[in-house]
Structure 1
């Protein structure tokens, strides 16, 4: 498809100053990492090169390796587009095919940080990522014993604590795992983080724009909005880049920032994704342009989410809520509703159900949050929009969810079936009568136009 247009490489573009040494091993170098942490790290300077490790597929290796790991970040605002070549990734490998190279990086004392963007499902106890981490830390202990930091950059409540717990649980299942767990406790840090930047899937049109602007073919280009945010718990075992000099916020307590982001931005994103997809909107910007959905999103943030938050002193929550909707409304990003709708079984407990539980605990049924959950249920059960177009169910529990939804039957059957999926709703929510009644009513209302 590229014809005579040369491939992005150090020979075809002006390359930014590149670090000589890999000091960060990153698990999951997908689009978000490349548009977020890799950019922060390049801007901070100081010689912190990254090696990206792909987990499930060699696709990212095939994209990056022929380009000497260079890639373009296409930044889109409402009115302007810019293309920037980023060079902080110095190596990339496919873990399944290159285990010895991966082990060499884990044991290299020059590697100071192992970071992760593996999505919510990457932290399941049966995840290969956790096994990979434990094996790598075990190898490091057996060789250099150098201290290291494991830095989760995924949308999880207490992401640092979660990955630490998963690692130690995995150690407990190993012969002589107690000694490894003791070494990890003494030599490894697991700080929490909060990350934010909207990064839609790259399209052929985006790659064509890079060819037009830079005159090269970039198979690894990524797209992002101008906004970016990174809040980091400052607890590192062996140093870190000076991220705070380029806009990251270092803090002793990430939790309140994380709660604001997960419950305001991420939860509203999910609400608009499910409601928008069912209404036939292809993108989040189209969904938020619908005055009914925009009002529902705004009221959800104000009436359901805000009462559950302890807002940090330096966050203007009213301005934050307005900016969330403004960012979602950026039509240049073309962030697809079905992309945001992926992995709902993993996202709902983190984004929506905490708000539901907190409101129920004070005797309030959060109607707008309930409608967001109901929209997910209709998305799963009906599987098509109001125009009859199929909606993909891309979820690690897809088969379980389809079976539980029971083929788009009566609203009460859909609700009872999906509430029975305890991995999503736990042991408490399925037995809450007022919640169940509100869900049945909302499912009936939302499903009516798409049946």
Structure 2
């Protein structure tokens, strides 16, 4: 038996390890995925794996637009990997086989474009994170000055960005008389399908006005809402899973039992029967998207910044502190829920209770540092949209403004003990420069960061109903630290 998970070792795995319930040799490519990270492999690839036995034409070619790490791990494994579902009750292991091929875009640009232009490809899915769309998060429009966009407009045949690859592939399909694929984003963007359509249309217009009209008129970009917590895989995870499999898996993914996928049903070229795997097809995703972005993601970011500053390594560690539980419950109930408008039958109370339990799950080692990444891209969607709605309605933003203040404290790059914070963010250098220039005074720091219009726009930066509570919280964080600040807020 091989000492590595692959097709040869699949049949010899121990009993109790679930395997693909279909013949992988019969699977064809119908989906190209951009951004093969842990989330895709714990979410969309699993839904697809569930339905390949019904229709084998929907196998996935998955591409990394940057790092070769996932290719290096999965190529020797024939695309196979382990899904570990962890809860308080234990761990269930399953082998996922829906990924037929992995491509590293910078190494094989033509191979990726060929796969996307292939008539058999009906859908291109994306999990490239908010920053991967090369857009302005405050406006949802293409950032035409983004270095990758500048490059891709100059060198159409060797793109670097997700918009560049998609538009070039669509251009080739149009020239060959092949209908366009559906573009299905699975990232946390507001109105994500419409945002992606706007970005792609503008990019295509800059290439050729006729191509822009074609993308605007002919390319379907359904909106989606995705939900599953997927921590980064640790070396301990690899060791534990390898011992259970009796073979090495270089890159398993670890997740929780909960999973959700809500999709607008607009697929002109067809789609997998994902509803048979639990996906929900709806006419309008927006209410579900707001629910998830504001309740789960907004709470997650708030916990990440405050939890990290308080010295907690994981979300579960943070939620073991009763003061943080009170903070999150108050945030969800008093400040977020009034901004949501759900369709009949949606059970917000149950969803919020489930969120709290998911955050407390000690089997998930979801690091606060990981969730804190890319805050400049996430803040507008996760917190600031809710802030705007609350201000419009005259509501309190006591907890929302604390989350924003915690982000400001975090991006200074120095924690409460004086140690360096590894701030991972597209604006990290700019944020650190502003923080250093402002010195240690909360008002100066807040004013400097409010000036970043890409994050705060012109409205919030000039609204004292927002700037004053954020600045006051920031001063408390500097003076008292995150733990005491959170505890005192809950006691008020």
TM-score range, shorter chain: over 0.9
Could you say if the C-alpha distance between residues 84 and 409 of structure 1 is closer, same or farther in structure 2, counting changes exceeding 3 Å?
Answer: same
Following the alignment from structure 1 to structure 2, what is the Cα–Cα distance between the partners of residues 278 and 284? 12
Aligned to 1:25: 32
Alignment coverage as a number of residue pairs: 445
- Is 1:417 paired with 2:427? no
Aligned partner of 1:399 in structure 2 is 429
Q: How far, CA to CA, are the matches of 1:62 and 1:359 in structure 2?
A: 47
Q: CA deviation at 1:437?
A: 1.4
Cα pair 1:381 1:408 within 8 Å, conserved: no
Relative to 1, partners in 2 of residues 1:329 and 1:5: Cα closer, same or farther, differing over 3 Å?
A: farther
CA contact (8 A) 2:413 2:423 kept: no
Partner Cα separation in structure 1 for residue 466 and residue 218 of structure 2? 45
Per the alignment, residue 326 of structure 1 pairs with: 357
Which of 121, 143, 146 is residue 176 of structure 2 equivalent to?
Answer: 143
Aligned equivalent of 2:79, options 47, 53, 69: 69
Residue of structure 2 aligned with 1:219, choices 250, 264, 267 = 250
Distance (whole Å) between structure 2 residues aligned to residue 181 and residue 139 of structure 1: 14
Identify the residue that residue 190 of structure 2 maps to in structure 1.
Answer: 157
| 1:292-339 deviation line (CA, Å, top 9, x unaligned) | 111011101111111111022222111111110100100111100000
Whole-Å separation in 2 of the counterparts to 1:5 and 1:293: 47
Q: Unaligned 5+ residue runs, structure 1?
A: none
1:10-69, Cα deviation, whole Å (9 max, x unpaired)? 111235222521100000111000000000011022111000011011111111111111
How much does 1:382 deviate? Answer: 5.4
The equivalent of 1:206 in structure 2 is 237
Structure 2 residue matching 1:241: 3-state secondary structure: coil
Give 3-state SS (helix, strand or coil) of 1:333's partner.
coil
Is the CA contact (8 Å cut-off) linking 1:74 and 1:81 kept in structure 2? yes
| Residue of structure 1 equivalent to 2:49 | 42
Q: Deviation of residue 434 (structure 1)? A: 2.5
TM-score normalised over the length of structure 2: 0.88
TM-superposed CA distance for 1:389, in Å, is 4.2
Q: 1:110 to 1:389 in 2, by over 3 A?
A: same
**Cα distance change, pair 185–172 in 1 and its aligned pair in 2 (3 A):** closer
- 1:104 aligns with 114
SS of the residue corresponding to residue 57 of structure 1 reads: coil
Task: Give 1:147 deviation, angstroms.
Answer: 3.2
Find out whether 1:12 has 2:22 as its counterpart: no
Partners of 2:334 and 2:393 in 1: CA distance = 14
Partner Cα separation in structure 2 for residue 12 and residue 5 of structure 1: 6
* Whole-angstrom CA distance in 2 between matches of 1:389 and 1:41: 44
- Where in structure 2 are there 5+ consecutive unaligned residues? 12-18, 135-142, 149-160, 483-492
Q: CA deviation at 1:113?
A: 0.2
1:78 equivalent in alignment to 2:88 = yes
- The answer to whether residue 93 in structure 2 is matched with residue 60 in structure 1 is no
**Counterpart-to-counterpart distance in 2, 1:292 and 1:390:** 26
Contact 2:401/2:469 (CA < 8 Å) preserved in 1? yes
Post-superposition offset of 1:219? 1.0
TM-score in terms of structure 1 length: 0.96
Asked if the contact 1:24–1:113 (Cα under 8 Å) also holds between the matched residues in 2, the reply is yes
RMSD of equivalent CA atoms: 1.5
Q: Does 1:51 align with 2:42?
A: no
Contact 1:120 1:155 (C-alpha < 8 Å) held by counterparts: yes
- Structure 1 residue 186: Cα displacement: 4.1
Match of 2:487 in 1: none
Q: Take 2:326 and 2:406, find their aligned partners in 1: how far apart are those partners?
A: 16
